[in-house]
Amino acid sequence: MKKLIIWALLLSAFSVHASDYQIHCSDGLGTIKWIQGNHEQSLSVTQRLATPEGLQDLRVNLNLAEIIIQSSHTTIINNTTTSGCHVVGVDGVSTWQETSVKKITIRKKDGAAFTNDIVGVSPDARSITAYVLCEERGNSEALCQ
C-alpha cells in the first residue's frame, strides 16, 4: 500500500503544470497602475497635492473589493503565441504575449466619490478614466501531437 501511494504521488507530481499569467497596465504618466494575474492583483492611482514646496504626487492603493473597473475601446498592438513540444505525445508549453491599449473607467461599487485631487477624476468625482497600455504575458500546458 505504501508503494502504491508513493507511486501515485510521483505520477501526479510529474503530470501537473500550472498555468501562469500576469497583466500590467499603466497610463502614459504612470498615474494609474493596474496589475492582474496569478502573482499580484492591485490598482493604484495618483493623488496630486498642492504643498508650499509645489505639487506632490502620492500613490494611493485602492481596495479591489470596493472597485469596479470597466474596460473598452481595446486595440491590440501585438499578439504572439508560441508552443513548444519536444516529444510527440508528451505535454509541452504554450506561451503568449499581448500588448494592447484600452480605455478604463474606475468607479466605487457603492457609488461614493473619489477625492478631487486624484489625477484623472471626473468633474463629479464619481469615476476615473484613462487610456492604459497593457502588457500580458502567460504560459500554459500544451498537448503535443
- If one compares 137 and 5, the residue with the highest pLDDT of the two is 137
For 54-110, the pLDDT digits (tens) are 999 999 999 999 999 999 999 999 999 887 766 656 677 888 899 999 999 999 999
pLDDT class of 20 with cuts at 50, 70, 90? confident
For 31-68, the pLDDT digits (tens) are 999 999 988 999 999 999 999 999 999 999 999 999 99
* Burial track 13-25 (b if 16+ CB lie within 10 A, e otherwise): eeeeeeeeeebbb
**What's the pLDDT at 92?**
78
Contacts of 128 by beta carbon, 8 Å cutoff, 6+ apart: 32, 45, 105, 106, 114, 118, 120, 121, 122
**What's the pLDDT at 10?**
36
